[in-house]
A and B are shown apart, each in its own frame.
Chain A
Amino acid sequence: MTTTTLAVLVPLLPFLGAVAGLLLGRVAPGFVRPLAVLPTLAAAAFAIAVAVRQGGGDGNGKAPLEAATQLTPTGSVPIDLALYIDGFAALVAVLVGVVASCVQIYSTGYLRGDARYPSYAALVSLFTSAMLLVVYSGDLMVLLVGWEIMGICSYFLVGHYWETSEARAASLKAFLVTKLGDVPFLIGLFALASDAGTFRITGVLKTVADGGLDHPTLIALLLLAGVAGKSAQFPLHTWLPDAMAGPTPVSALIHAATMVAAGIYFVARLLPVFAASAAALVVLAVMAAITMVGSALAALAQDDIKRVLAYSTIGQLGYMSGALAVGDRGAAVFHLIAHGAFKALLFLGAGVIIHAAGTNSLAAMSRMRGLSQRIPDAYWTVTVALLALAAIPPFAGFFSKESVLVAAEHTALGESGGAAPGAAGWTVLIAGLLTALLTAAYAARLWLLTFRGRGSEVPDYGKQPLSMNAVLWVLAIPSIGLGLAIGYLPGWFDGHSLAPNLTTSVLGTGIALVGGLITYGCWRHTSALAARNPIGAVVPHPDTEPALAEREAIEIHTQVYGSIAGAPDPADPARLLLGPLHRHAAAGFHLDAVYHRLFVRPVLAAAQLVRFLDREVVDTYVRGAGTGTGWLGAAVRRAQTGNVQTYLSALLAGSVVLAIAAVLVAAGA
């Protein structure tokens, strides 16, 4: 098979798997699991093969693979089915394939008794296929198709537990917020295509290189709105924490490898377009900085383990945006890949933890003893992933985050010679260091509260399935070892060195250690309080299958604590760390409330108005038509007496009137 054929098969196989799964889901339940896992695994293998064949280990990279075919003429700006595989595409596709395979295998254990597993697995396959299409596509319109399919799949998957109101609200929110970004994104794509005269990425990049772009700032800002929606960047990030209402594997898929990565990947792919406008880069840098710091603070205050991870995802995506803002897409994609590995691991581990503990509340977990002995696999792998998240050497997160910080430092000091302004560099650098402190703090808090709880023994709900534990170890490998690739990776990317330099690594690691130690100190101080304040939200049926337990945990969290995000736990070290800020951070800095005021209420008021107009005004006409006809009918009915003489009188009177009229007309009167 040629590389092109392989590359075409990569997005096609999961798609076919999804179609087959949907068709056979009810007819042949035995085929559902193979149909879910095998195509995704094959796609991952093919993606690796494409990467190996295409890969540029020689320092400069081979010429990108390009292939295009035009199905039908589409007017002035042609739309092609095009492939464009450079080093970024090849590596991101490998990440997507591997994570999606892990998620599919994990799901066979996690949702083993779920009645809706066939449609769930098919949707995950479709989701994977769409992301792979986005990654490989060389045409912006085809990319948009994958982009939108991901949007609708995320809606369905987040709403998998649609029996709970949280899941329904979250799925709607995810859909609407991402669509809110997609509208300007679409306009931006059209503007870009009309400036460049083509939807092909190569053509666009060529136009940019020739300086043929007429409105770079406008286009870049419009595209950034879509990227902010998909990649959960500051003002449009609010859907992502709520999307935790979905099953854990879906969270892992959405927040590690596919949906949120699409925005970053899109910017990385079209970075020259954004680099053509310094203003857009500054906006991106500010956006990234706000996102990073704000989400890290919010993560520190969350009580739901998955919401901590969700906010941490937002923060890590902020790092990637920051790297893009300083013009280093190699660092951004490197962090994307490393983060994809350890965040998928964290989410999948969290699924195991929630099942084993019977709760998703950190406050409740901190009052349980021996969770680490109960699930040793999850304990060790999650520990590794948290170390990677906190950027402790020698784990993968350290190297990728350092590459971001190094790029920011270069730009700040004006050494990079790129287009990015120094202000952007400083913004990203300072925010990045601050976030490193906070990241270490919330990672430490998560670890301490989860695995170092004190109190009664964790009840035994049975062993976790092998499919779930094995996946954790598979993902632990890149989380530990991806840092070794820094000498090898620049050849795949633009050729910038990704190696950490001494200043930033000492600074970053030191800050991270400080953050972790402070949290530990606070925890030592507060954990004594835990015994005096019994609190907990444990599910009533912990020994059911994991997905069911998680669904109950999400429902119960709101019932027990009155909030989906925070818990009134005085033993939480975050209270001590954040002080008065804790309340606001737990609520995500009230951004939802602001949106509620700004958008939801006016829309509701407008809906009320429309309802009023419809009910009182439009319906009046409709009812009036009916009533008028009824009255007319009643009036006419009164004439139908059955008395023939009356009828005849009317007839003859009419004839007389007509005759007189005819005579008058004839007489010319």
Chain B
Amino acid sequence: MSLAAHGFLSPSGVEIAFLLVGLVTFGAALVTVTTKQLVHAALWLVVTLGGLAVEYLLLTAEFIAWVQVLIYLGSVVVLLLFGLMLTKAPVGRSPDADSGNRPVALAVAVAAAVSLVWVVVDAFRTTWIDLDGPAQGSTEVTGHFLFRNWVLPFEALSVLLLAALVGAIVLSRKRATATRNSRSGKEQR
């Protein structure tokens, strides 16, 4: 695990794969936040999230990778697309996709990126992840630690999800009920 053994100039295969996928992911993320076409942004988000799923796989976290694919690619992006449709987002290029805050945002983001990358690189220059041996995120392992050690938070999470479900329904149905109530009120009158 010495520096000489694992230099940056002699990357392993996994590293090369990680780097390539990472570049794709990062590029897709950049397009997501910069494109003028709103629907395209959602689609580029799919690429980003998918790239991340691959990265999880490369880090031997299989289960999380599949969860990522299922939940993010499967449901979240679909939800977002629905949202775009329901808010009548323009299809095609919309010139006002970015707000006037853009220069400030760019400055803050670049400053944060520079400082974060500098700190991270400075701190973990020589740190090596040993990916050999049994996979650390296989479904079996995940099942073990999740239901052996993390049962209570897991269950609590289900309550949270339920609450979110109810909340979302209430929020989106409120107006419909309100109109119906008022309509019935008018009928009574």
A binds B: yes
Residues of A within 8 A of B (CB): 643, 645-646, 649, 652-653, 656, 659-660, 663
**Which residues of chain A have C-beta atoms less than 8 A from B108's C-beta?**
649, 652-653, 656
Q: Is the CB of A652 within 8 A of B101?
A: no
**Which residues of chain B have C-beta atoms less than 8 A from A645's C-beta?**
99, 101, 105
Q: Is the CB of A652 within 8 A of B112?
A: yes
Q: Is the CB of B104 within 8 A of A649?
A: yes
**Which residues of chain B have C-beta atoms less than 8 A from A649's C-beta?**
101, 104-105, 108
Q: Is the CB of A663 within 8 A of B104?
A: no
Q: Does B111 contact A (CB under 8 A)?
A: yes
Q: Pick the contact of A646: B101, B107, B115 (CB < 8 A).
A: B101
Which 8 interchain pairs have the tightest Cβ spacing? A649-B104, A645-B101, A653-B108, A656-B112, A656-B111, A660-B115, A652-B108, A649-B108
Q: Does B20 contact A (CB under 8 A)?
A: no
Q: Does B117 contact A (CB under 8 A)?
A: no
Q: Which residue of B lies closest to A651 (CB)?
A: B108
> How many B residues touch the partner, as a band?
10 to 19
Q: Which residue of B lies closest to A655 (CB)?
A: B112
**Which residues of chain A have C-beta atoms less than 8 A from B101's C-beta?**
643, 645-646, 649
Q: Is the CB of B119 within 8 A of A663?
A: yes
| 18 intermolecular pairs with C-beta atoms under 8 Å apart | A643-B99, A643-B101, A645-B101, A645-B105, A649-B101, A649-B104, A649-B108, A652-B108, A652-B112, A653-B104, A653-B107, A653-B108, A656-B108, A656-B111, A656-B112, A656-B115, A659-B115, A663-B115
Q: Which residue of A lies closest to B116 (CB)?
A: A659
Q: A653-B111, A656-B108, A663-B119 are in contact. List 8 more A-B contacts (CB 8 A).
A: A643-B99, A645-B99, A645-B101, A652-B112, A653-B108, A656-B115, A660-B115, A663-B115
Complex CA distance for A652 and B115, rounded to whole angstroms: 13
For chain B, residues 52 to 85, give those with C-beta under 8 angstroms from any C-beta of chain A. Answer: none
For chain B, residues 86 to 113, give those with C-beta under 8 angstroms from any C-beta of chain A. Answer: 99, 101, 104-105, 107-108, 111-112
**Which residues of chain B have C-beta atoms less than 8 A from A660's C-beta?**
111, 115
Complex CA distance for A136 and B67, rounded to whole angstroms: 111
Complex CA distance for A187 and B126, rounded to whole angstroms: 91
Q: Which residue of A lies closest to B101 (CB)?
A: A645
Least Cβ–Cβ distance between B86 and chain A, in angstroms: 22
**Which residues of chain A have C-beta atoms less than 8 A from B105's C-beta?**
645, 649
Q: Which residue of B lies closest to A643 (CB)?
A: B101
**Which residues of chain A have C-beta atoms less than 8 A from B107's C-beta?**
653
Complex CA distance for A645 and B108, rounded to whole angstroms: 12
**Which residues of chain B have C-beta atoms less than 8 A from A643's C-beta?**
99, 101
**Which residues of chain A have C-beta atoms less than 8 A from B119's C-beta?**
663
Complex CA distance for A73 and B115, rounded to whole angstroms: 79
Complex CA distance for A339 and B153, rounded to whole angstroms: 112
Which of B99, B105, B108 is packed against the most chain A CB atoms within 10 Å? Answer: B108
Q: Which residue of B lies closest to A649 (CB)?
A: B104
Least Cβ–Cβ distance between A106 and chain B, in angstroms: 91
Least Cβ–Cβ distance between A662 and chain B, in angstroms: 10
Complex CA distance for A615 and B144, rounded to whole angstroms: 83
Complex CA distance for A659 and B120, rounded to whole angstroms: 13
**Which residues of chain A have C-beta atoms less than 8 A from B115's C-beta?**
656, 659-660, 663
Complex CA distance for A509 and B164, rounded to whole angstroms: 124
